[in-house]
Structure 1
Amino acid sequence: MRKFLRVVRNIFLVLLACIILFVSGAFVYHRIKLNQEKQYLDNIPGQMVEVDGHNMHVYSEGRGDHTIVFLSGWATTSPYQDFLPMAKELSGENKVVIIEKFGYGYSDEVPGERDLDTVLENDREALQKLGIEGPYVLCPHSLGGLESISWAQKYPEEVEGIVGMDISVPGFREAYVATEKKKKLVYSGFNILCKLGIMRVLMGTPEFENEDDKIRYALEQKEGMNKNFISENSNIVESIDEILTMPLPTTPTLQFVSKQTNEISNREFPGTDWMAAHQELVDASVNGKLVELDCGHYVYKYEQDKIVSGIKEFLKTL
């Protein structure tokens, strides 16, 4: 029996040593690669503005009667890269702005809670410091929708219109309640794996087709599943509860909604209705319209032409 226990102990010690060596190697390799990848992040495309003692990246181009502000969805690696094609299409007759919140893209990862008020006030301060004045036409995707709704509620004079791209909505609160704690645990685990470099090793290095791919990969490795992402996710229900203390905004709105998100959400969360929750925003608006798109959640990638065309028509009504 003692001999058996010694064998088990030795096997355990060997496995433990292997795990320690693997984790140590992955961490060192990750740090070396991060240092090498800094070269891809040297050329900042927009402006870095100091907000609350940290650097936030804001890109803008064009000029015109309207100022369009793109706000990304949750954990988007590079809002700048994602929205740049639409910005190019719209900047001929408008000023177009892409905000990269803290923890996103080229912006710093910052300490502290990332609740709705903090995110909103940080973004407003960045625009004010850069001299980008409202009123704004907010164009949010996914989680950025909650920020836009709150913005219109608290500062209606700053928001000329809202163009939602399959945004998170207060009417879907119970679905967020059902997944909040589980997601926080999972994302915290991913955060550890990313910081240790284990995710980099497990996923391997992809083949890059162009320089933008290298930049996106460098940003993915820099950000990982960072604490700002985790904090935002943990505050979704609290954010919705804050929004629900006030009437929904009457701001003119155009809501692009994914049929696929609707089907998936309604199937996974019986008793909820993604499309109806968006219709509530449209009904509250003085000039609202809902457009269903037969594509996935990242509607601006799948249906860019339709969305750009819709935004241009929407601006004419403001």
Structure 2
Amino acid sequence: MRVTQTEEIKTRNGAKSKKVRSILLKIIGAILLAIVIFLGIVYTVNVISNHSEQKRLESYGQHVAVDGKNMNVLIQGRGEETVVLLPGLGTAAPALDFKPLIEELSPFYKVVVVEPFGYGLSDLTEKERTTENIVSEIHDALQGLNIERYILMGHSISGIYGLDYVNKYENEVSAFVGLDSSVPTISERKIESSEIDTVKLLKKSGLSRLVMKLGTDPLATLPYDDKTKEQMRILMHKNMYNPNLLNEVEHMYSNFKAAESMTFPKNLPVIFFIQANHPVTDRWVPEHEAQVKNSVHGKVMRFEADHYIHRTKAQEIVENFRAFMKEIK
């Protein structure tokens, strides 16, 4: 049987199509293999780096037992009055991050930095990261240290926890100081569980470390010595996206909502040190002013600074804070 010209063309075209498909499949296979190898390398490097960093991690502060676990606390200075420092959300090493402020405060006050569970060198906890639990744990830590009277100074989200704290333990807190602290009326958005799952994957795979490595070093221009920066980086990798932090993020929206009806006790001295120009909202200054409008001793001070105001304006904060405390006595 003779093969027609049309059939020959079809045969040739079919062979070419098979060849093209074969090449495409090989290319796709090679790409997938490259991705698998790349992810394997990223994962392995992350595991090795974590192990190496733990050996270089240096302890600081002391442990205090809370709910059968260890909460890390740094105490510095011997002043008659005590200042308790509370960190912002996700601050990997609060006692190191607050170093510029501690150095300015410690000549005049006994300074106590509390690292909540999941922060710094503190243990992880299985308890939900609700405001109620976080506040109770911080209070238990201070009780364990026999600290009965103190000034509460909180950064960022500790403005929310601090608001609850001063209402529950009004007889213990002599003043509240907000360091660009959060206000309930400027609420954070609700984080979906799918977003949390994605972040967990980034952490477990080691991709979060890679992203940090390729990005700009957030500590490069800050007023810390090289050794402190190295320890802060180690703790950033250790604590970033840990279970307690992610659970705290999940509860963030409800924690803000629960604080909306709260106000500072009228007779409690309250002073806020905040950034003058918030990058996202123009309500930052007026909402802080609204928080102290009914306070017998309330004040808002603005600085040309970013959210981590205590890193670059420590001296100014302490000078104005001391002047404020002298005025109300």
Q: Say which one has the larger Rg.
A: 2
8 Å contact from structure 2 (residues 101, 311) kept in 1? no
Query: 1:91-240 maps to which residues of 2 (within 5 A)?
Result: 91-131=106-146, 133-173=147-187, 176=188, 179-181=189-191, 186=195, 188-204=197-213, 210-240=226-256
User: Residue 153 of structure 2 aligns to which amino acid in structure 1?
Assistant: C
User: Residue 60 of structure 1 aligns to which amino acid in structure 2?
Assistant: I
Change (3 A) 1:22 1:160: same
Change (3 A) 1:247 1:305: closer
Change (3 A) 1:15 1:128: same
How far apart are the structure 2 equivalents of 1:3 and 1:157? 82
Q: Pick the aligned partner of 1:86 from 101, 107, 110.
A: 101
How far apart are the structure 2 equivalents of 1:77 and 1:52? 22
**For structure 2, which runs of at least 5 residues remain unmatched after alignment?**
1-16
The alignment status of 1:311 with 2:298, answered yes or no, reads no
**For structure 1, which runs of at least 5 residues remain unmatched after alignment?**
267-272
Q: Give the structure-1-normalised TM-score.
A: 0.87
8 Å contact from structure 1 (residues 180, 234) kept in 2? yes
CA drift at 1:185: 5.0
Change (3 A) 1:18 1:105: same
Q: Secondary structure at the match of 2:185?
A: helix
8 Å contact from structure 2 (residues 87, 115) kept in 1? yes
How far apart are the structure 1 equivalents of 2:321 and 2:76? 17
How far apart are the structure 2 equivalents of 1:40 and 1:145? 33
8 Å contact from structure 2 (residues 74, 114) kept in 1? yes
The alignment status of 1:65 with 2:88, answered yes or no, reads no
How far apart are the structure 2 equivalents of 1:53 and 1:16? 47
CA drift at 1:284: 2.9
CA drift at 1:202: 4.3
Q: Deviations over 1:49-97 (max 9, x none)?
A: 2322332110012233321011111111211112122222222232110
Change (3 A) 1:311 1:236: same
Give the percent of matched residue pairs that are identical in Structure 1 and Structure 2.
Answer: 30
Q: Pick the aligned partner of 2:33 from 17, 37, 45.
A: 17
8 Å contact from structure 1 (residues 248, 281) kept in 2? yes
User: Residue 273 of structure 2 aligns to which amino acid in structure 1?
Assistant: F
How far apart are the structure 2 equivalents of 1:202 and 1:169? 31
Q: Pick the aligned partner of 1:301 from 311, 317, 320.
A: 311
How far apart are the structure 1 equivalents of 2:126 and 2:133? 12
CA drift at 1:164: 0.6
CA RMSD of aligned residues (A): 2.4
CA drift at 1:112: 4.1
Q: Secondary structure at the match of 1:170?
A: coil
CA drift at 1:129: 1.4
Q: Deviations over 1:141-182 (max 9, x none)?
A: 111111111101122112111111111001213xx2xx3336
Poorly superposed stretches of 4+, deviation over 6 Å: 205-209
Aligned residue pairs, count: 304
CA drift at 1:247: 4.0
Q: Which has the higher helix share?
A: 1
Q: Give the structure-2-normalised TM-score.
A: 0.84
How far apart are the structure 1 equivalents of 2:131 and 2:18? 59
